[in-house]
Structures are given as C-alpha cells and as structure tokens.
C-alpha cells in the first residue's frame, strides 16, 4: 500500500473524528443553553398587567425558606441595592449594618484628614446624603414581605409589606420607602415589572384602575 495513501487516509480519519467531537460539544452546549433559558424567569410587563387586572398574582415561586401561613412568593430577582444615607466623613471602606430591616451604612476605619485638603474635601463629600451602594442581593417578593438574601446565604433581612409606605420608579430602579428605614433603591430589571408588582402588593394598585 502506497505511503502517501496511508497518510491521506489518516488525515481523513482525524478530520472525521474532529467533526464528530465538535458536533457532540455543540449539541451538549445547546442543551445546556436551552435549559438555562427555560429556567430563567420571564418578567413580561404586559402579561403582569393583564394578570393583575384579572385580580390575580404571578404564579407562585418555590423558595427554600419557610413561608408564613397563607404567604406566597410571587417573584425572585437578583439586584444591586442602594440606600439614601449620610456618611460620617471618614472616607474609608464602607460596610453594611442592617437592623430591623435595611438599616444604615457604617463607614469605619478612620482616616486622618488633617493637613490634607483633598482628603478633607473627600470626607466632606462622604458626609453628604446620597444614594450609597449597599451590595448585591437576591430579593424575594411575597404577599407578606420583601426579603433580601446576601453574602452567599449568610445574610437575611426583610421588610414587612405592611411597613412599606411608598413605591416609586425613577426610571432606573424601584425606590421603596418604609417606616424607620432609609429609602431603598432596588436595581431590579425590568424596573417597570417590579414597580408594578410592588405597588399592587403594597397599595392594591391595578394597572388602569385607581388604587384602593
């Protein structure tokens, strides 16, 4: 058998094997992507509006924590959280101090600002009230509460729906105002969906109708 023929045959075999392996990888990747897309919740604003207009809520979502009697989880979303807070002027690393729901932001590890004008200016800026980033959380919206899970499951904080006094949409996030806590800004997408759902739970507001 001619040597060149054997080499050509080996090349063909290698190419065929490579094609088969690549097709198997593509097939496996496609299945994974499909499963991922199927598992991801679809938050459609128009569908939510129709659901609320029928006097219903989104389909219940299973959760790993214990619900109260009659409580239903109607939404889960991952979002960055900000609060309207005043700093202490130390211009250092921030950390969160939750208490009885979302509480204040602590700025610790004092920095010496004396004799350094730019540090003084930065410290003054830190003291001003503004939206300050708290962190990223998984948020559970139920018929009874707004729960925040963070730190890989090591943090748990919540608001009672009955303590919420206002829900606003500033175009980029949902702002929630509660008794005894700073205003909280939730960067959940789509913003209009979570704004509509929370206003229904808190205020009984139905799209196209007057809140009760």
- Structural element, H or E, at residue 137: strand 130-142
Q: Give residue 152's pLDDT band: very low, low, confident or very high (50, 70, 90).
A: confident
Q: What percent of the chain clears pLDDT 70, i.e. is strictly above it?
A: 68
The pLDDT, as a whole number, for residue 122 is 60
CATH (residue range 45-84+132-203): 2.30.29.30
Domain ranges of the chain: 1-32, 45-84+132-203
Asked whether the predicted pLDDT for residue 165 surpasses 80, the reply is: yes
Give yes or no for residue 48 having a pLDDT over 70. Answer: yes
Q: Residue 157: how many CB atoms within 10 A of its CB?
A: 19
β-strand partners of 76: 140
pLDDT at 91: 39
Q: What is the mean pLDDT of residues 145-159?
A: 91
What does the radius of gyration of the chain's CA atoms come to, in whole angstroms? Answer: 26
Residues 90 and 19: their CA atoms lie apart, in Å, by: 61
Under the banding of pLDDT at 50, 70 and 90, the label for residue 129 is: confident
Residue 154 has pLDDT above 60, yes or no: yes
């Amino acid at each position: 058998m001619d040597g060149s023929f054997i080499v050509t045959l080996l090349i063909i075999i290698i190419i065929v094997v490579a094609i088969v392996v690549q097709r198997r990888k593509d097939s496996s990747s496609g299945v994974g992507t499909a499963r991922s897309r199927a598992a991801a919740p679809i938050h459609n604003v128009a569908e939510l509006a129709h659901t609320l207009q029928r006097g219903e809520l989104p389909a219940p979502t299973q959760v790993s924590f214990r619900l109260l009697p009659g409580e239903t989880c109607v939404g889960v979303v991952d979002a960055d959280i900000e609060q309207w807070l005043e700093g202490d002027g130390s211009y250092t690393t921030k950390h969160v101090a939750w208490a009885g729901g979302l509480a204040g932001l602590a700025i610790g590890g004092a920095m010496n600002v004396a004799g350094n004008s730019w540090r003084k200016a930065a410290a003054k800026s830190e003291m001003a009230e503004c939206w300050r980033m708290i962190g990223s959380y998984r948020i559970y919206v139920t018929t009874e509460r707004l729960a925040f899970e963070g730190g890989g499951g090591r943090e748990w904080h919540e608001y009672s729906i009955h303590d919420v006094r206002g829900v606003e949409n500033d175009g980029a996030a949902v702002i929630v105002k509660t008794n005894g806590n700073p205003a909280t800004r939730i960067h959940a997408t789509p913003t209009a969906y979570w704004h509509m759902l929370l206003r229904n739970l808190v205020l009984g507001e139905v799209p196209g109708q007057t809140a009760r």
